[in-house]
Amino acid sequence: MKISVIVPVHNTGKYLSRCIDSILSQSFTDFQLILSDDDSTDDSAEICRRYRSKDSRIVFVSSDGRGVSRARNTGLDIAQGEYIAFVDSDDCVSPFYLEKLLDLCEKNGKKLSVCGYALNDETTPPERVGVPLMAYPDEIIPQRDYFLRLYTKMEIMYVVVWGKLYHRSIFDNVRFADGKICEDEGIIHHIVDKVDSAAVCAQPLYFYTKRPGSIMSASAAVQRMDIFPFLQDRIDYFSERGMYDLSFLTMKNYLVKCLQFYNYLPEKDYKRLTVHMFDAMMSRRIKNPVKNKRFLLKLLRYRLFPSSFKDVDGNEFMFGNN
């Protein structure tokens, strides 16, 4: 078995058939498809069972309702492929998704490959997604350059676990944090730690479903505070290895997110918590040998008036000329 494709499933019956059909339509066929259901209450589990009865490459397993991380870990525990790929159950992929990612790994002798992605709506099948007609050259990204790309406007392509192919050895002693969201942020530096470089092609082969009304709600914002300990772990990872510039970039990310969450969260207790976290990180930042006085002065101004950050484009502020 060459590739195990892991699809975590939770109440996505509306999109699931499109997702599974796009995987079963791959030009590369030597794969195992693991549908890992996380205690769905809609018809998702039944859809999975129906597909399993029709295709022997499909494995259907149930996890215990502890979230997408546990569902992915369950898939990893039973994966038989030499390589691992992830697809979210409300998304879909190009027919050449696996073929291209595998070719990137094998022809370049790499254990990690990355492709581009395109936004899609809830109904358009993968063959009708609009993709720019242009050349997409392959490139080899050294480990350090990969880390730097986590802090660019293209960060999503490099942070998320989908849109990639991993040699299974990468997941030796590496698993997603159970019961947490923002799990991509928590695992990506541990994944890249296992490789010296990655093969990348920006061609959009993964189609991410942008659902209407997906602006972060207050309750979702509370859940997404899981990202802060993950960023803290990444700061420690870089600092321990003397990568102080990367540690500083992660601190910037952490501080900007504190200001964003201050404005997402309605409860005063949570607002006070984000201010406390901001102050604690600013104190730690002093010990980092890498400095950016202009950026930090701007942050301090917003610290005095955090509500004024509400309409600021966080990505532009983070990645712009600061």
47, 144: one domain:
yes
Task: Please indicate, yes or no, whether residues 48 and 116 belong to a single structural domain of this protein.
Answer: yes
Residue 235 reports pLDDT greater than 50: yes
Q: pLDDT value at position 215?
A: 46
231 and 187 share one domain: no
Q: For residues 58 and 204, state if they share a domain.
A: yes
**Mean pLDDT along residues 125-140:** 84
Domain C-terminal end among 187, 209, 231: 209
Q: pLDDT, tens digit, for every residue of 6-31? A: 999 999 999 999 999 999 999 999 99
279 shares a domain with 200:
no
Residues 244-253: tens digit of each pLDDT = 999 999 999 9
**pLDDT band, very low/low/confident/very high, at 212 (cuts 50, 70, 90):** low
- In this structure, the answer to whether residues 44 and 176 fall within a common structural domain is yes
Q: What residue has token string 């969201």?
A: 181
Check whether residue 171 and residue 231 sit in a common domain: no
Q: Within a 13 Å sphere around the CA of 209, how many CA atoms are in the beta-carbon half?
A: 20
Q: Summarize the confidence of residues 84-113 as an average pLDDT.
A: 97
Residue bearing tokens 């029709």: 54
Q: What is the pLDDT of residue 186?
A: 96
Residues 57 and 101 in one domain: yes
Answer whether 209's CB lies under 8 Å from 90's CB. Answer: yes
What's the 3-state SS for 142-176?
A: EHHHHHHHCCCCCHHHHHCCCCEEEEHHHHCCCCC
**Last-in-domain residue among 209, 226, 245:** 209
Domain of 167: which CATH number?
3.90.550.10
Q: What value does the mean pLDDT take over residues 185-201?
A: 98
83 and 180 within one domain: yes
In the chain, what percentage of residues exceed pLDDT 90? 74
Whole-angstrom distance, CA of residue 165 vs CA of residue 71: 18
- Which candidate, 248, 253, 234, 258, places its Cα nearest to that of 318? 253
User: Are residues 35 and 127 part of one domain?
Assistant: yes
Number of domains in the chain: 2
| Alpha carbons 6 and 267: distance in angstroms, whole number | 37
pLDDT, mean over the chain: 92
State mean pLDDT over 115-144.
88
* Same domain membership, residue 203 and residue 61: yes
Give me the domain span that covers residue 305: 218-319
Residues 83 and 185 in one domain: yes
- Residue at a domain's end among 209, 235, 259: 209
